[in-house]
Amino acid sequence: TSRFHVVTKVYELAQPFSFFLTKVAGIADKYNSTLALDIKDILSADMGNLVASCQFNYMFDIPWLVQQYPKEFRSKPLLIVHGEQGPSKTTLEAEAIDYSNVRFCQAKLEMLFGTHHTKMMLLQYDTGMRVVIHTSNLIKQDWHQKTQGIWISPLFPKMAKPSATEGDSTTHFKRNLLEYLSAYKAYQLKDWINNISEHDMSTARVVIIGSVPGRHTGDQMKSWGHMKLKRVLQQHGPSNGVVKNWPVIGQFSSIGSMGANKEAWLCGEWLQSLSAATGGTTLSSVPLLKLVFPTKDNVRCSLEGFPAGGSIPYSINVAKKQMFLHDFFHQWRSEGQGRSRAMPHIKTYLRPSPDNQKTAWFLVTSANLSKAAWGALEKKGTQLMIRSYEIGVLFLPKFFGGKDLFDVSSNFEMLKSSTDVFPLPFDLPLTDYIKGKDRPWMWDIPYMDLPDTNGNIWCPG
Q: Does 117 bind ligand GNM (CB under 6 A)?
A: yes
Catalytic residue status for 345: yes
The type of residue at 7 is V
CB of 213 to ligand GNM, least distance (A): 15
Instruction: Report DSSP state, residue 144.
Output: T
Q: Which is nearer to ligand GNM, 252 or 406 (CB)?
A: 252
Q: Does 137 bind ligand GNM (CB under 6 A)?
A: yes
Spell out a b/e string for 215-232, using b for 16 or more CB atoms within 10 Å of the CB, else e.
ebeeebbbbbbbbbbbbb
33-62 residues in contact with ligand GNM (CB under 6 A) are 58
Q: Does 293 bind ligand GNM (CB under 6 A)?
A: no
Q: Which is nearer to ligand GNM, 113 or 279 (CB)?
A: 113
CB of 311 to ligand GNM, least distance (A): 4
Q: Which is nearer to ligand GNM, 138 or 421 (CB)?
A: 138
Q: Does 311 bind ligand GNM (CB under 6 A)?
A: yes
CB of 12 to ligand GNM, least distance (A): 27
Instruction: Enumerate residues 6+ apart whose C-beta is below 8 A from 368.
Output: 117, 252, 253, 254, 255, 256, 347
E-strand ranges in 185-257 read 207-211, 214-217, 248-251
CB atoms within 10 A of CB 188: 15
Is the distance from CB of 37 to CB of 150 less than 8 angstroms? yes
Q: Does 313 bind ligand GNM (CB under 6 A)?
A: yes
Q: Which of 91, 67, 65 is nearest to 80 (CA)?
A: 65
Which residue sits closest to ligand GNM, CB atoms considered? 313
CB of 157 to ligand GNM, least distance (A): 32
Number of amino acids touching ligand GNM (CB under 6 A): 5
Q: Which is nearer to ligand GNM, 58 or 362 (CB)?
A: 58
Q: Which of 421, 361, 419 is nearest to 395 (CA)?
A: 361
Kindly give the residue spans of alpha helices, DSSP state H, lying in 296-350. Answer: 296-300, 316-319, 323-326
Alpha-carbon gap, residue 287 to 261, rounded angstroms = 17
Alpha-carbon gap, residue 369 to 311, rounded angstroms = 15
CB of 71 to ligand GNM, least distance (A): 28
Instruction: Strand 214-217: give its sheet, edge to edge.
Output: 214-217, 383-386, 376-378
Q: Which is nearer to ligand GNM, 117 or 333 (CB)?
A: 117
Q: Which is nearer to ligand GNM, 146 or 230 (CB)?
A: 146
Spell out a b/e string for 275-295, using b for 16 or more CB atoms within 10 Å of the CB, else e.
bbbbeebeeeeebebbbbbbb
Active-site residue among 82, 116, 117, 330?
A: 117
* Number of residues that this document lists for the chain: 461
Q: Which of 162, 178, 113, 116 is nearest to 376 (CA)?
A: 113
CB of 239 to ligand GNM, least distance (A): 34
Q: Does 211 bind ligand GNM (CB under 6 A)?
A: no
Is the distance from CB of 26 to CB of 303 less than 8 angstroms? yes
Q: Which is nearer to ligand GNM, 118 or 197 (CB)?
A: 118
CB of 366 to ligand GNM, least distance (A): 6
Residue 57, SS3 per DSSP: coil
169-198 residues in contact with ligand GNM (CB under 6 A) are none
Q: Which is nearer to ligand GNM, 58 or 349 (CB)?
A: 58
CB of 137 to ligand GNM, least distance (A): 5
Catalytic residue status for 172: no
Which residues are tagged catalytic?
A: 117, 345
Residues that bind ligand GNM (CB under 6 A): 58, 117, 137, 311, 313
